[in-house]
Amino acid sequence: METILKALRDLEGVNGAFLADTAGQLYAYNAESIYDVSLLGQVSKAIANAIDSVKLLQEDWDTITAQYAEGRLLVKCVPAGARKGGAALTLALIADSRLNPSFAGVAIRVAIGKIKTLVEGNPLALVAVGAGGNAVMAPVTPQAFSASAAPILGGSGMAGLSASHAPVGAVEVATSGLSWSGLGSSSSLSASGVAVADAASSACLTACTKCLAKAVGPMAKVFVKESVRRVAAGQPFSKSMLSALVEDLEKNIEDRADAAEFRKAAAKLA
């Protein structure tokens, strides 16, 4: 793995390369010393968080390129294939303006082919906290590669980031005009593809979305749409389905206090 990541680092403009899973757990890295394991752990968690939302619209994403004022981040999906554990990986490159995107594209494809060969049938190990040097591998069990495995990365460097949807600025979202705009008329199919039984049910759904937004931010609308489809099972949403909807929506809130607050606020809508 070290050789593969080093080959990517050798590209002009590449300052770091790392391999993580879809939960943001770091498996290997080769980067400039300013990008230590703690920092890369934060980055991989934030990337995983962003990819979770991308997958709502594009489950089969292949490449993500984030262009910054002073750099670029390339993220490539390494499909699970026949690998043990079955979870996909992400290969990320931190680059500056000197990067040649065409060369990088070729090098990444080559690297992914090698990574696939390397990890097929062989479990990967997570990077140990506080380990020095590059492409460090800690000896852990095959279960560590499972998407549900508990991360061994942690400590102060990881604080503040979660693999789930972070509620940063959620209150601001909830009070900034968020509305269920597609749900205006009785028994109609909205622009969002969600049907409502009547105006009261529409208003109820709008209020419920705002309550949820306080905990999960702008993803509230998406979660509500998905929950309505599950709870209403093809029928227009009506206010009588609210308790089932709230129960379903609660699953999207990781923080128990936030979930309780959402439940309390939603109860007032009944």
Partner 1 sequence: MKEFSAIAKLPDVIGAVLSDRSGALLEWSGAVDGETAGAVNAFMVRGFVQVGEVLGVGGLQRVSIVGPSKACVVAIHGDTILGTYTDPAKPIAAVERRVQETLLK
Q: Which residues bind partner 1 (CB under 8 A)?
A: 35, 39, 42-43, 46-47, 49-51, 53-54, 56-58, 60-73, 94, 96, 101, 161, 165-166, 168-169, 172-173, 176-179, 181-182, 191-193, 217-222, 225
3-state secondary structure at position 207: helix
The encoded tokens of residue 173 equal 């979202």
**Which residue, 222, 56, 31, 22, is CA-closest to 134?**
31
Q: Which is nearer to partner 1, 93 or 125 (CB)?
A: 93
CB of 247 to partner 1, least distance (A): 22
Size (the chain), residues: 270
CB of 5 to partner 1, least distance (A): 17
Q: Which is nearer to partner 1, 40 or 125 (CB)?
A: 40
CB of 122 to partner 1, least distance (A): 27
Q: Which is nearer to partner 1, 108 or 144 (CB)?
A: 108
Q: Which is nearer to partner 1, 71 or 123 (CB)?
A: 71
CB of 175 to partner 1, least distance (A): 9
DSSP of 74-89, one letter per residue?
A: EEEEE--TT-TT---E
Q: Which is nearer to partner 1, 192 or 243 (CB)?
A: 192
CB of 223 to partner 1, least distance (A): 9
CB of 27 to partner 1, least distance (A): 18
30 vs 181: CA distance, rounded Å: 47
61 vs 57: CA distance, rounded Å: 9
Radius of gyration of the chain (CA): 22
Other C-beta atoms closer than 10 Å to the C-beta of 187 total 11
Q: Which is nearer to partner 1, 56 or 267 (CB)?
A: 56
CA–CA distances in Å: residue 224 to residues 41, 153, 182 = 31, 32, 13
**Which residue, 100, 115, 164, 129, is CA-closest to 26?**
129
